Structure formats: structure tokens, C-alpha cells
Amino acid sequence: AVVTGSNRGIGFEIVKQIAGHGVTVILASRNPSAGIEAAKSLQELGLSVVFRQLDVLDTSSIQHFAEWIKQNYGGIDILVSHSTQFTCDLYDSVVLRQFVVCQVNNAGVNFNLGSENSAEFAHLVVNTNYYGTKNVIEVMIPLMRPSPLGARIVNVSSRLGRVNRLGDVALREQLSDIGTLSEEIIDRTLSTFLRQVEDGSWASSGWPQVFTDYALSKLGVNCYTRLMAKVLSDRPEGEKIYVNCFCPGWVKTAMTGWAGNITPEEAADTGVWLSLLSDGMPTGKFFAERREINF
């Protein structure tokens, strides 16, 4: 399995719990020293965890990471993707139960809490949380190995990114229509938001007013999850790739200033469950506490 941004927090717990099921996990971290220490602590518990440096903001880093995976493992089974610089988990599993292939994307970052915002922070949050996740997925999909149970991509997201939090009714309807949803529409929505942050008009344009940058970046992740599930749905049996996202909740991590109400161990549970689920595998869905919720 591959887990992005997983040297601490939710990502670290996802690595630990998946490895606890006998899966070899690649613990990916932007910071080499932090990643090495995190992997070492899990290796000392007897878990099969390997560190590899990955910066989801750097396309060459993503490409080098993929090449390393191909050379050393041939492919991956699970990708857990939460492209956050604070808690980003990417793991690659050589053997996941019998034939499960999964990627968990767990990387994310946030700066603004209320009405204040800046173009610098907005671009960093959207580029990390949305484009980082998307770029990792695009590069890793060709490496996801055929499996009778299907490969898995799990994106760590947030309820803050729900479409119904948008004030623009027409935009809500456009992003909710899976029949016409496209990558162009998602990217255009985020580009419009970023331009309005730059010119100062974002606050009166119907965007969420709390954790605004983070909410928009996770809106992108949620929409992209649904879109990729649709794009990958016509793959033949034995080559299926299931794509889902989940909200870990308000977690006691560095990102929340340790103000959350659930532990990283509890927060990781749904992501691990989606990574290892063997019966009735869903795709294109949004989960919290192992239950499907609305986008």
C-alpha cells in the first residue's frame, strides 16, 4: 500500500493499521528525517513499513516516486491519498490480504479560520490538497495491479467540502450532476475561487466562510473522487479500481492545534476499512464512521 504524507497524525495511523494486517506499506513523507523516524518506530513494532520521500507539490518528485515503486515493487495495490503537507499518507502494498490493490491519499494543509484570507495561502492549500492528490492519482493509476477484488484509491477529505455549502445554486447543481461533471469544471471552479481571493471578491461570492481554502480544496477532492470513479467504472473484471473518499472528523492533530474531539487512531478507521474491504466494494462514494454520507 502507498500512503501519502504519513509521517504523523491520521496518515501515520493509517500506515500503522494497514501494516498491522500484514500489508507492506510505503510511508511517504515530504520531510525525509521525519519520515525515516516514523517508519523506524513502526518497524520496531515488527511492521513491514518502508519510507520513501514524496513532495506532492513537486511533479518531478511524484514521477521519481512512481519510478521507484515500479522498479522495486512492480506496482501497487492500495493508494491512500490525502495530499496535505501536515498529514499526507501514501502507501503501497505488496500483499494486501489476498488480492486487494489500494492507494490512500492523505495529504492536507490549512491556514485560514474565518474571514481573513490571502492569495499565497489559498494557492498553497488548493495546490496541496486538491492538485497534489490529483497528480499523485494520475501517475499511480498505471501502476495499480490487476486483482480479483479490485485495486483501491482512498482519498482523505472533509465534510467541509460538501457541495451544499456553496452559495451559488447554479454551481452547486453543476458540480452535483455526475452526468456532466468534468475535470475542466472542477478545475475552473477552483481557478475562479483563487482569482477572487487575489482580487478580494471571494467573501461575497458564495464560498464557504469558515476554513474557506480548505473547504474549497476538499470540494475539489470530493468532486474528483466521483469523477474518477465514473471514468474507471468501465474497466473489465480483474482490473477494477474502486475510488472513494472519507471524512475522518475533527481530529486531535497538529492541523487542528490538537483541538479535535477524536483521536488519530479513531480517525484512521474508515480509511483503513475502505482500503481492506473485500465484500460489496463501493465506488464513487463519501463515507464517515463507515457510513455513506452525502457529497
Active site members: 214
Closest CA to 142 of 249, 236, 239: 239
Angle at 226 between CA 282 and CA 21, to 5 degrees: 40
CB 89 within 8 A of CB 14: yes
Helices (H), the chain: 9-19, 32-43, 59-73, 119-126, 133-140, 169-176, 183-199, 212-232, 264-276
CB atoms near residue 113 (< 10 Å) = 11
C-alpha cell of residue 23: 500489508
- Half-sphere exposure (CA, 13 Å, Cβ side) for 245? 36
C-alpha cell of residue 41: 518506530
Angle at 165 between CA 180 and CA 152, to 5 degrees: 55
d(CA 104, CA 4): 7
CB 71 within 8 A of CB 9: no
d(CA 148, CA 167): 43
Across the beta sheet with 25-29, the strand order is 49-53, 25-29, 2-3, 90-91
Paired with 259 in beta bridges are: none
Neighbour-count burial for 186-205, b at 16+ CB within 10 Å, e otherwise: bbebbebbbebbeeeebeee
Radius of gyration of the chain (CA): 18
